[in-house]
Chain A
Amino acid sequence: AQSVTQPDIHITVSEGASLELRCNYSYGATPYLFWYVQSPGQGLQLLLKYFSGDTLVQGIKGFEAEFKRSQASFNLRKPSVHWSDAAEYFCAVGHNNAGNMLTFGGGTRLMVKP
């Protein structure tokens, strides 16, 4: 069965510092991978997606993620974090085991220090 693991429940970085949020997945076939962000009091917003091709994908708000098949990872990165990036970030894998559905990781809450 497919699963998504986000090892870090909380991360705190200073404003202007670089960021990397980890995501590991378990899925038998070629995965479709996603990062969503949830700001306080809001629903989830799609940041970026990977279906195939170039393993480094660019998203909105200056985020990027890299698919590494050998490590079963899809880590999210940003070179310089802004205070407005404080939110919860969810990695997800798309699969079609029973219909086309998303399985989400547990989320990583990002806090940004001034």
Chain B
Amino acid sequence: ETGVTQTPRHLVMGMTNKKSLKCEQHLGHNAMYWYKQSAKKPLELMFVYNFKEQTENNSVPSRFSPECPNSSHLFLHLHTLQPEDSALYLCASSQDSLGTRAYEQYFGPGTRLTVT
């Protein structure tokens, strides 16, 4: 595997379900990010982890819970979601989140989430 991988690629869940999205990067990076990409809206940053520590929570509702057990893996735990949470969730990584290195991000293909 190379680059940034995400599983599953597609997920359909009911509003009472609990599910998790997984992201893995094989680039030796130390920063990882979750973004939400909705139709007709710019890409929204959700969370940032640098060396496993969360450094940014962009006012994300608590029904989204991130976890970063090590610098290579990032999870997004989902529970009691709403239909408006349906979107493409993108994971990204960068060398770290310091200075200009934070801006050169490598993205995974995303998980297309549908909440019914």
Contacts and interface: CB of A to CB of B under 8 A. Distances in A.
Interface string B84-103: 00000011100001111011
B103 A34 contact: yes
Interface string A1-45: 000100000000000000000000000000010101000011111
Interface residues of B, number: 26
B99 to A, nearest CB: 6
Interface stretch (A57-65, A70-78, A79-87, A92-100): A92-100
Given A43-B92, A44-B90, A102 B4 contact: no
SS class, residues of chain B in contact with chain A: mixed
Interface string B38-59: 0011110100100000011000
20 contacts: A36-B107, A41-B109, A42-B109, A43-B107, A43-B110, A44-B105, A45-B107, A46-B104, A46-B105, A49-B103, A90-B43, A92-B103, A94-B102, A99-B48, A99-B55, A100-B100, A101-B45, A102-B45, A102-B103, A106-B42
A107 B37 CA distance: 11
Contacts of B107: 36, 43-45
A67 interface: no
Nearest to A33: B103
